């Protein structure tokens, strides 16, 4: 079968890729998931090796060591932190604890907001970004949406376009949330990849806004997606409600060991990551544009790109997949088009390979080595499962 590989709705699915394109799952150069190309800090791997014996004990259900370090770093109390089995669990816990009837999303956005809201029985309303705003939505459109929903998800920087809303806009939305009683959930899963001086975040002002909850992930920046670790910070009444809904021990002991080691790993790792991502993103954008791709200029460790016609996301994913490179199709995001794909920003050597292969593929006509009928069939078959979860919902 050929076609899109996001059968579970996300990038990084090398097993599906291997079954579609052949080869070993572990051998793909994966540009479809946005993980720090440096890998985890070395202190994290050492701590995991030393901590292996701890698997014979239950993890701390109160996540106290990790929370203490986080609290210090973020200037919040432990009562304001909920630790999750990945940021994805934090999202689920918010929905479980708050049981919103109506959930708002800003599209294109991370599909899990819709998928989870739907799984928890909420009605979904959305607004859409505009190409001329780099796929951001105007603040007044988001405010109008907030008047209609109990809870709104906003990505900052947003996946898949990688752009941030200015902090003034966030303050405006947070003030609106206080007026409308809407809970504003700001997903900062990728914010650590942005240089500190450029980050637009309400985290330092959280105490002003009891209706704002911020979610962060440890899995992308610290390159531990297989371990799962994330957290939410917000008003203690929401955090307590989330704790009450959480399965005891859902955050495993090795993830907590790794999380503490991440937070102790020091500034060097952070600086090296940010500088490499910044340099490589600039280089990738320049070459992609010279190849005729239209690039959305975001600030995160991934790039939203429209491939030149007659290429589509499906045919490009297929052509690169057969050559051992995985990319994320974004054609299924509300508001985006058939040619939209997302590339992670990786290290120089991997990026050289991507650019070389992409350059040679683009010299072809766009559908030469792809049977488009079977791509369409693949889209229908492969996507049914995830589309079932995210379909429906109204555009404002
Ligand atoms: C925007 C965004 N938020 C959250 C997550 C989930 O992060 P985690 O791995 O911590 O569950 C992802 C994963 O791709 C994401 O893209």
Check whether 388 has a pLDDT greater than 70. no
Q: What is the mean pLDDT of residues 196-217?
A: 97
C-alpha span between 270 and 247 (Å, rounded): 32
CA–CA gap between residue 127 and residue 118 (Å, rounded): 17
224 pocket-lining for ligand 1 (C-beta < 6 Å): no
295-300: average pLDDT:
94
Instruction: For ligand 1, say whether the CB of 155 is within 6 Å of any of its atoms.
Output: yes
Per DSSP bridges, beta strands 81-84 and 230-233 are: antiparallel
Atom 2 in ligand 1: which residue has the minimum CA distance?
Answer: 189
Atom of ligand 1 nearest to the CA of 88: 11
Q: Is the CB of 108 under 6 A from ligand 1?
A: no
Strands (E), the chain: 29-30, 81-84, 102-107, 123-128, 151-155, 183-187, 212-217, 230-233, 294-296, 302-306, 325-326, 328-329, 340-344, 394-395
Which residues make beta-bridge pairs with 30? 326
Determine the average pLDDT of the residues in 179-198.
Answer: 98
Mean pLDDT over residues 91-97, rounded? 98
DSSP letter string, 153-179: EEESSPTTT-----HHHHHHHHHHHHH
Ligand 1 neighbourhood includes 51 CB (under 6 angstroms): no
Stretch 172-189: mean pLDDT, rounded?
Answer: 98
Distance from C-alpha of 239 to C-alpha of 233, rounded to nearest angstrom: 7
Same-fold call for 14-39+268-395 versus 42-264: no
pLDDT higher at 145 or 382: 145
Return the closest-CA partner of residue 309 out of 367, 241, 382, 395: 367
Q: What is the percentage of the chain residues whose pLDDT exceeds 90?
A: 86
Weakest-pLDDT range from 237-251, 351-365, 381-395: 381-395
Whole-angstrom CA distances from 378 to 3, 51, 83, 304, 311 are 4, 43, 37, 23, 17
CA-angle at 161, arms to 156 and 162, nearest 5°: 45
Which CATH architecture best describes the domain 14-39+268-395?
Alpha-Beta Complex (3.90)
Nearest ligand 1 atom to the CA of 91 is 4
Q: How far is CA 220 from CA 39, 215, 346, 373, in A?
A: 9, 13, 12, 35
How is the chain split into domains, by residue range? 14-39+268-395, 42-264
Q: Check: CB of residue 248 under 8 Å from CB of residue 61.
A: yes
pLDDT above 70 coverage of the chain, percent: 92
Model confidence pLDDT, tens digit, residues 209-267: 999 999 999 999 999 999 999 999 999 999 999 999 999 999 999 999 999 999 999 89
Which ligand 1 atom sits nearest the alpha carbon of residue 187? 3
Ligand 1 centroid–CA 226 distance in Å is 12
Q: Over the stretch 142-168, which tens digit does the pLDDT of each residue have? A: 999 999 999 999 999 999 999 999 999
- The pLDDT tens digits of the residues spanning 39-67 come to 999 999 999 999 999 999 999 999 999 99
Residue closest by Cα to atom 12 of ligand 1 = 189
Quick one: average pLDDT of 359-388? Answer: 59
- Please check whether the domain covering 42-264 is classified as CATH 3.40.640.10: yes
Q: Which of 66-70, 296-300, 388-392 has the lowest mean pLDDT?
A: 388-392
pTM: 0.94
pLDDT of residue 87: 98
pLDDT at 192 over 90: yes
Q: What is the pLDDT of residue 396?
A: 74
Q: Does the beta carbon of 159 sit less than 6 angstroms from any atom of ligand 1?
A: yes
pLDDT at 383: 46
The answer, yes or no, to whether residue 370 has pLDDT greater than 70, is no
On whether the CB atoms of residues 108 and 130 are closer than 8 A, the answer is no
pLDDT at 4: 81
| 157 touches ligand 1 (CB under 6 Å) | no
- Can you give the pLDDT at residue 7? 86
d(CA 371, CA 320): 14
What confidence score (pLDDT) does residue 11 get?
87
393 lines ligand 1 (CB under 6 A): no
With a 6 Å cutoff on the Cβ, whether 36 touches ligand 1 is no
pLDDT (0 to 100) of residue 380: 45
């Amino acid at each position: 079968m050929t076609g899109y590989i996001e059968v579970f709705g996300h990038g990084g699915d090398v097993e599906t890729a291997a079954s579609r394109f052949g080869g070993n799952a572990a051998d793909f150069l994966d540009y479809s998931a946005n993980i720090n190309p440096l890998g985890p800090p070395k202190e994290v791997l050492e701590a995991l090796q030393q901590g292996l014996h701890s698997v014979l004990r239950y993890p701390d259900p109160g996540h106290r060591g990790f929370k203490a370090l986080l609290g210090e770093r973020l200037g919040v109390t432990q009562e304001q932190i909920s630790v999750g089995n990945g940021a994805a669990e934090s999202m689920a816990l918010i929905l479980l604890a708050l049981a919103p009837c109506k959930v708002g999303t800003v599209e294109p956005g991370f599909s899990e907001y819709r998928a989870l809201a739907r799984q928890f029985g909420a009605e979904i309303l959305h607004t859409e970004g505009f190409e001329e705003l780099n796929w951001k939505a105007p603040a007044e459109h988001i405010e109008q949406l907030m008047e209609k929903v109990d809870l709104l998800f906003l990505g900052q920087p947003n996946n898949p376009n990688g752009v941030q809303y200015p902090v003034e806009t966030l303050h405006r939305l947070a003030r609106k949330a206080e007026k409308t009683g809407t809970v504003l959930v700001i997903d900062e899963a990728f914010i650590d990849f942005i240089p500190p001086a450029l980050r637009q975040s309400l985290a330092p002002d959280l105490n002003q806004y009891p209706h704002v909850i911020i979610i962060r992930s440890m899995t992308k920046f610290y390159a531990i997606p297989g371990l799962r670790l994330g957290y939410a910070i917000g008003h203690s009444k929401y955090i307590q409600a989330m704790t009450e809904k959480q399965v005891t021990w859902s955050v495993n002991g090795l993830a907590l060991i790794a999380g503490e080691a991440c937070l102790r790993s020091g500034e060097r790792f952070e600086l090296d990551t940010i500088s490499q991502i910044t340099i490589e993103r600039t280089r990738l954008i320049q070459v992609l544009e010279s190849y005729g791709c239209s690039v959305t200029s975001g600030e995160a460790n991934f790039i939203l790109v429209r491939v030149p016609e007659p290429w589509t996301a499906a045919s490009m994913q297929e052509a690169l997949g057969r050559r051992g490179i995985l990319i994320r199709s974004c054609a299924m995001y509300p508001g985006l088009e058939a040619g939209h794909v997302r590339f992670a920003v990786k290290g120089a050597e991997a990026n050289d390979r991507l650019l070389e292969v992409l350059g040679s593929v683009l010299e072809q006509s766009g559908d030469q080595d792809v049977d488009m009928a079977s791509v369409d069939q693949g889209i229908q078959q492969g996507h049914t499962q995830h589309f079932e979860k995210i379909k429906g919902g109204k555009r404002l």
